[in-house]
Amino acid sequence: MNFIATKSLSSIRLASIGLIPNKTSIRLSSISLFLNKASIRLSSIGLIPNKTSIRLSSICLLSITSVVFAQKKDENIGTEVVNVVKPYSPTISDAFKVKETPSFDDDETSKKENIQYNIFSFPVASTFTPSKGRAANVDKTAAEKYFKNYITLAAGNFGTINAELFVTENVSNTDYFGGMLRHNSTQGGVKDVQLDDKLYNTSLDLTYGSRTRALTWNADAGYQHQVYNWYGIYPNFFNQATIDGINSQQTYQNLYLGGRLSLGDSFLKESTLKFNRFWDAYGSAENHFVVQPNLEFDIVSEKINIGIVLDYISGSFDNSFNTLTSFKYGYTNVGIQPSIQLQKDDLSVNAGVGIFYSAAQELGESKFFIYPQVIGSYKVVGDLMIAYAGVEGTLKQNAYKEFVDQNFFLSPTIFVAPTDQKYDVFFGLKGKLANAVSYNMRASYLNEDNKPLFKNNGYEELVGNEGYRFGNSFGVAYDNIKTFSFFGELNADFSKNVSFGINGTFSSYTSDIEAEAWNLPSLNLGANLDVNITPKWYAGAKVFFVGERKDFVHYAASIPVPADATVTLESYFDVNAHIGYKYSDRLNFFLKGNNLANQDYQRWLNFRVQGLQVMAGASYKFDF
């Protein structure tokens, strides 16, 4: 600042005394003007105060005026150029700090304008009149009419006939009566069979019951008549004279009485009773009586269940396989199975124990058994994934009738005894992959003593000529079997018109006495599909696969074949399908096909099945 002031005063003195010419004074004026502009800029950026800039401007303006007047006073003074150059170097004290939040003196910046909106509307003529809304109608199919009774008749190749009649009627508001008549027969026709292979199966079941809020009961009675043939001899092995002398037919008959009782608000829940009288054409007979009352109590917030079992069986056979000696069997099994149900959040446990006593009336020993019976489940992810596990054991009463239901070709010379199922340890996962897709996976280890195995009887030349002594019948061998198995299944209802299911079981067996676990397959697979093609047409299919099995062959030494040998039965699969047409609410037509692959497989050793089977029929529904 001092420099600018001194410079202006110097120019005034020089001009006034005529020491510098007019041009020089003009240059100095230019310099002063330049400095004046510089001072304005410094003031605008805050490096010098406003008052200082005003003084500088006044001094510069006086300098310019003095120089002009000086030039006019003396125009003969010699010229001399004096260039004084000195850059301006401001110091910190020459500037002031800029405020972080500047103040505004302008009132217009803070003034808010109030904006008002005005809508100018005018009526428009219209003939539209809105109607009152209502819910849209939902399209729904008419409910299929329910009929209480039906009759089915069908016939097919191999002389197959199938008939069913089911009737039920309400006797009163609480009582009802029902009955079922079934018949299934075929005239045989198995490939390369030398003996008669026809079969008949006819049964009649009747029931009468009553349902009220306080009491529900029903009484059952029935009769079954079955005819089968031991046709499973080696083809072309025996001469024709021997074959002609074989009576291969066996007849089974069963008469049963039973009932069920349930008291609604009582501690006595559902209790069952059943009596079977089973006999055959070779003088074998069996009586089987079972009573199972079930008690249930609520103690505090827990539920106590007590199951009671009274199982009595007795029977006799006129002959044993190797001798003509008759023998009897009989057991009375009494058991009590208390359990408690525990529920907490997603965890559910049913913990119990089974206590049994088995008393042998004829052959065998009387024993006392205790079994664990604990099952638990936990919802890992709601219903999507449920983990479950448990250990169960029980005393299972075997019976001649139950053996025949599994294998029709038993000889009437077997021994019947109960099975000690020590424990079955299992764990698995079940749940849903989607709303319509469910799954179940289970691994288990089963330990059984005295487990029955179906084993071929073989041939004894000099024992007798009964129809079951030609290597064409089976006996029952008991062994201690340990079974490790894995089971899995998947079921899907893709829509109300399409459903699909698949399942499989893999098993591994360990035996103690027998060389193999006879006739137990290591692999079982199955699948089913049901489709409603249209409201009138429907169809379905079932496929199953059975893996290899082992069996034992024994022949007398005089026969030129290996005396003893273990044979392997090949695995097989079967495809069954059906298609139907709903002619009306009452009348349906259907077409069924079994063994569509036309496989000549062996279900049991030397017992082959019929080939492709086709059957057509109709079903009619009605009311009285």
Alpha carbons within 13 A on the beta-carbon side of 260: 10
Which stretches within 48-171 are classed as H helix? Answer: 50-73
Percent of the chain whose predicted confidence (pLDDT) is above 70: 75
Entry pTM? 0.75
- Residue 442: pLDDT above 80? yes
- Residue 416: pLDDT above 90? yes
- φ and ψ at residue 50, rounded to 5 degrees: -65, -40
What is the predicted pLDDT for the residue at 178?
96
3-state SS record for 40-70 = HHHHHCCCCCHHHHHHHHHHHHHHHHHHHHH
**Residue 112 pLDDT class (50, 70, 90 cuts):** low
Residues β-bridged to residue 390: 375, 426
Which stretches within 289-380 are classed as H helix? Answer: none
Task: Provide CB contacts within 8 A for 50, sequence distance 6+.
Answer: 43
**Buried-exposed string 131-169: b where 16+ CB fall within 10 A, e elsewhere:** eeeeeeeeeeeeeeeeeebeebebebebebbbbbebbee
Helix, strand, coil percentages, rounded to 5, for the chain: 15, 50, 35
Span of 28-42, 358-372, 546-560, 592-606 with lowest mean pLDDT: 28-42
Distances (CA, A) of 384 to 1, 492, 498, 499: 90, 14, 22, 19
- Residue 398: pLDDT above 70? yes
The residue behind tokens 């406003």 is 50
In this structure, the chain runs to a length of 624
CB neighbours (10 Å) of residue 372? 16
3-state secondary structure of 562: coil
What is the predicted pLDDT for the residue at 334?
97
CA 219 to chain CA centroid, Å, is: 37
What is the predicted pLDDT for the residue at 129?
53
- Please check whether residue 293 is in contact with residue 268, taking contact to mean a CB–CB distance below 8 angstroms: yes
Mean of all residue pLDDT scores within the chain? 82
- The residue among 395 and 234 whose pLDDT is bigger is 395
CA proximity to 379, closest of 337, 430, 444: 430
Which stretches within 460-539 are classed as H helix? Answer: none
H or E element in which residue 452 lies: strand 437-456
Region class of 18: left (phi > 0), else alpha (psi between -120 and 50), else beta:
left
What is the predicted pLDDT for the residue at 465?
83
Task: Provide CB contacts within 8 A for 199, sequence distance 6+.
Answer: 185, 186, 188, 226, 227, 228, 229, 408
123-131 mean pLDDT: 51
599-620 mean pLDDT: 94
Span of 13-22, 143-152, 315-324, 589-598 with lowest mean pLDDT: 13-22
What is the predicted pLDDT for the residue at 297?
84
Alpha carbons within 13 A on the beta-carbon side of 316: 8
3-state secondary structure of 14: helix
- Please check whether residue 623 is in contact with residue 170, taking contact to mean a CB–CB distance below 8 angstroms: no
Task: Provide CB contacts within 8 A for 417, sequence distance 6+.
Answer: 329, 331, 363, 364, 398, 450, 478
CB neighbours (10 Å) of residue 513? 10
What is the predicted pLDDT for the residue at 50?
44
- Residue 31: pLDDT above 70? no
User: Where do the structural domains in the chain lie, given as residue ranges?
Assistant: 2-94, 151-257
- The residue among 467 and 132 whose pLDDT is bigger is 467
pLDDT tens sequence across 533-579:
999 999 999 999 999 999 998 877 555 555 688 999 999 999 999 99
**Residue 505 pLDDT class (50, 70, 90 cuts):** very high
Distance CA 187, CA 184 (A): 11
**Residue 313 pLDDT class (50, 70, 90 cuts):** very high
What is the predicted pLDDT for the residue at 236?
76
The residue behind tokens 């006939």 is 161
223: exposed, middle or buried (Cβ count in 10 Å: 0-12, 13-18, 19+)? middle
